[in-house]
């Protein structure tokens, strides 16, 4: 499974950004603000990601950034099949400890999924400090709309 975050810019300044349909990938999170469209994709193959990008480009969007779960970011023009295959499958396990996440889905959608000792939510920043009771895979965070900002496995 390939997991990737794509950011697009609307090249048609007179129109707002619309959602891009996907027949090849599942959209985990979709954000539209001003002229920026951000989508978190879960796809079966790197070719499915490229098909989504091609469809978005044909709708007048410009790919500005690609981000992987390991934190690697690339400019949109640097997107390549080899990196999609290599970094798109990244899925490390976070051990017991504290993590800080930005949440893009409501806490009620992900609180019951994680085994945690403590959770402190900052509603204004849309961030949460979570002390894990059991290890969790980075892909689980992604699949529930959580973006890992920092980790401290010593806690």
Sequence ranges of the domains in the chain: 2-87, 93-152
Looking at the DSSP assignment, which residues form a beta bridge with residue 97?
132
Q: Report angle CA 84, 7, 70 to the nearest 5 degrees.
A: 45
Q: What is the pLDDT of residue 13?
A: 59
Q: What kind of architecture, by CATH, is found in domain 2-87?
A: 2-Layer Sandwich (3.30)
Determine how β-strand 61-67 pairs with β-strand 2-10: antiparallel
Equal fold, 2-87 vs 93-152: yes
pLDDT tens-digit profile, the chain (155 residues): 999 999 999 876 545 455 676 778 999 999 888 888 999 999 999 999 999 999 889 888 999 999 999 989 999 999 999 999 999 999 899 887 899 999 999 999 999 888 889 999 999 999 999 999 999 999 999 999 999 998 886 64
3.30.70.100, 1.10.540.10, 3.40.50.620, 3.40.50.10860: which CATH number matches 93-152?
3.30.70.100
pTM of the model: 0.86
């Amino acid at each position: 499974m390939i997991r990737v975050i794509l950011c697009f810019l609307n090249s048609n300044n007179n129109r707002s950004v619309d959602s891009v349909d996907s027949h090849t990938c599942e959209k985990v999170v979709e954000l539209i603000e001003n002229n920026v469209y951000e989508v978190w994709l879960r796809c079966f193959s790197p070719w499915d990601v490229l098909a989504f990008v091609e469809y978005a480009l044909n709708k007048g969007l410009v790919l500005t950034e690609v981000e992987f779960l390991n934190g690697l970011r690339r400019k949109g023009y640097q997107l390549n099949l080899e990196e999609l295959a290599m970094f798109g499958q990244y899925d490390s396990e976070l051990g017991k400890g504290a993590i800080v996440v930005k949440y893009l889905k409501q806490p009620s959608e992900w609180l019951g999924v994680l085994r945690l000792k403590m959770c402190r939510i900052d509603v204004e920043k849309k961030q949460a400090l979570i002390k894990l009771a059991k290890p969790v895979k980075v892909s689980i965070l992604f699949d529930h709309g959580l973006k890992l900002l920092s980790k401290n496995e010593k806690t």
